[in-house]
Amino acid sequence: MGPLMLDCQAEELLPEEKEKLTHPVVGGVILFSRNYHDKRQLSALVQDIRRFAKRPVLIAVDHEGGRVQRFREGFTAIPAMGDILRQSEHQDESAVYAKACGLVLAYELKTLDIDFSFAPVLDINGVSQVIGDRAFSDSADDVIHLAAHLIQGLKAVNMPAIGKHFPGHGSVAPDSHVALPVDEREFDEIRSTDMVVFERLIERALLDGVMPAHVIYNQMCDKPAGFSTKWLQDILKQDLGFGGAVFSDDLSMHGASVAGSYVERAEAALEAGCDMVLACNNPKGAETILDGLEKRFANPSNSDLQKQKRVMALYDRIMPVGLNDKYDSAVELVKRLSER
């Protein structure tokens, strides 16, 4: 399993995409709304990805709920995470709704052989232009509480939980898709306001993966977190003890451009501590990564093999049998929440 997760352009694989899937650097595919027409078509696309790859690859999607739900027609409408607490009468009820959301989104993806969603969002709803109601709350304690219950729902279906965007994107305004946000706060404030969410969930062994933010925290490091050894090696892995998989955010985002060319971005992210890098919405950029990393991953180092081991742990987790009744009950809860 290689270190690059790339995308595809349509509802069926293009001839050149079938060829790319055999490349040793490819380790995954992320799906978007443009790849979806209906469940039958999506199932065929997933089967084709696995068939043409000829080896294990991760298949993922951003399917958080609210405005970030890639598949809609034929899927249960998952509300924005920020609606869960607002629409609940008390905290216990919000926890039940959060777990139901996790179970439903995981079940509906798993039945189509999709390995995971990049979820949950663990940012707080602060001043960010891109996070907003993707976050559970503006309070770290509420985010921890609701995320833990949503993850219980994911785990009931045996789906990995991938927390994002470490150490927290919610307290800086610019959108890292189109800008390079700089958070000027001291570390202690970042830790107590934002990073504490990741810290508590890691302590409880609830996160299988983490995605760092394309944000510079300039009191700590002059690089975005996803390219920073300080953030990924020293803080995430050593201080917090995280041993799961680390995925870069999309290397096509403006917040990643500071790291150089596409190949330089991929190399910098992998050297900093990412196990797999994402390159989306720019096929030519992804191709340069394939070419640039081919020689390295033809003979992977021990470090590269460890990276492969961490991402392989997320592959082909079998959904337990006998979940139909729990799924049906969870769907009713999610619909009730959406109708409030």
- C-beta of residue 262 within 8 angstroms of C-beta of residue 251: yes
Tell me the per-residue pLDDT of 236-248, one tens digit each, with 9 for 90 and over: 999 999 999 999 9
Tell me the per-residue pLDDT of 312-338, one tens digit each, with 9 for 90 and over: 999 989 999 999 999 999 999 999 998
Using alpha carbons, select from 77, 28, 36, 82 the residue that is nearest to residue 56.
28
Tell me whether residue 249 is one of the annotated catalytic residues: yes
Identify the pLDDT of residue 340: 82
Please provide the DSSP assignment of 85-114 as one string: HHT-SSHHHHHHHHHHHHHHHHHHHHTTT-
Q: Any idea which fold 4-339 has?
A: TIM Barrel (3.20.20)
Tell me the per-residue pLDDT of 55-87, one tens digit each, with 9 for 90 and over: 999 999 999 999 999 999 999 999 999 999 999
Tell me the per-residue pLDDT of 282-302, one tens digit each, with 9 for 90 and over: 999 999 999 999 998 888 899
Identify the pLDDT of residue 297: 86
- C-beta of residue 289 within 8 angstroms of C-beta of residue 262: yes
Counting beta carbons within 10 angstroms of the beta carbon of residue 89, is it exposed (0 to 12), middle (13 to 18) or buried (19 or more)? exposed
Tell me whether residue 177 is one of the annotated catalytic residues: yes
Counting beta carbons within 10 angstroms of the beta carbon of residue 217, is it exposed (0 to 12), middle (13 to 18) or buried (19 or more)? buried
Tell me the per-residue pLDDT of 231-281, one tens digit each, with 9 for 90 and over: 999 999 999 999 999 999 999 999 999 999 999 999 999 999 999 999 999
The pLDDT mean for the chain works out to 96
Residue 159 has pLDDT above 90, yes or no: yes
| 144-165 mean pLDDT | 98
Identify the pLDDT of residue 137: 97
- C-beta of residue 3 within 8 angstroms of C-beta of residue 275: yes
Identify the pLDDT of residue 316: 87
- C-beta of residue 109 within 8 angstroms of C-beta of residue 185: no
Percent of the chain topping pLDDT 90: 95
- Tokens representing 198? 């990741």
162 DSSP β-pair partners: 209
What radius of gyration do the chain's Cα atoms show? 19
pLDDT band at 339 (very low <50, low <70, confident <90, very high): confident
Give me the residue spans of the domains in the chain: 4-339
Distant-in-sequence, close-in-space partners of 205: CB < 8 Å, separation ≥ 6 = none
Residue 9 has pLDDT above 90, yes or no: yes
Phi, psi of 329 (to 5 degrees): -65, -40
Q: Cα–Cα distance between 189 and 104 in angstroms, integer?
A: 35
Distant-in-sequence, close-in-space partners of 107: CB < 8 Å, separation ≥ 6 = 157, 319, 323, 327, 330
Of the residues 138, 175, 177, 254, only one is catalytic, namely 177
